[in-house]
């Protein structure tokens, strides 16, 4: 998980529209919430979630 955080921090300055959001999923085991960092690098959308 630490690698994903480091990757997000390295990619974030290169993004045009950086955004921090929350990804949520519901399953039989309950609700799972995780942070999502997204943005655009050139014409490509990039999203990182642990």
Delimit the domains of the chain by residue range.
2-48
Instruction: Quick: pLDDT tens for 5-36.
Output: 776 666 666 666 777 788 888 988 899 888 88
In sign, the C-alpha dihedral spanning 1, 29, 20, 15 is positive
Q: Where are the beta strands (DSSP E) in the chain?
A: 19-27, 30-41, 44-48
User: 2 and 8 in contact (C-beta within 8 Å)?
Assistant: no
- In the prediction, which pLDDT does 48 show? 73
Cα Rg of the chain (Å, integer): 12
- In the prediction, which pLDDT does 23 show? 83
- In the prediction, which pLDDT does 15 show? 64
d(CA 47, CA 19): 9
| Claim: this prediction has a pTM higher than 0.85 | no
């Amino acid at each position: 998980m630490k690698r994903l955080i480091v990757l997000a921090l390295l990619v974030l300055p290169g993004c045009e529209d950086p955004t921090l959001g929350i990804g949520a999923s519901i399953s039989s085991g309950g609700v799972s919430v995780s942070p999502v960092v997204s943005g655009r690098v050139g014409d490509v959308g990039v999203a990182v979630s642990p």
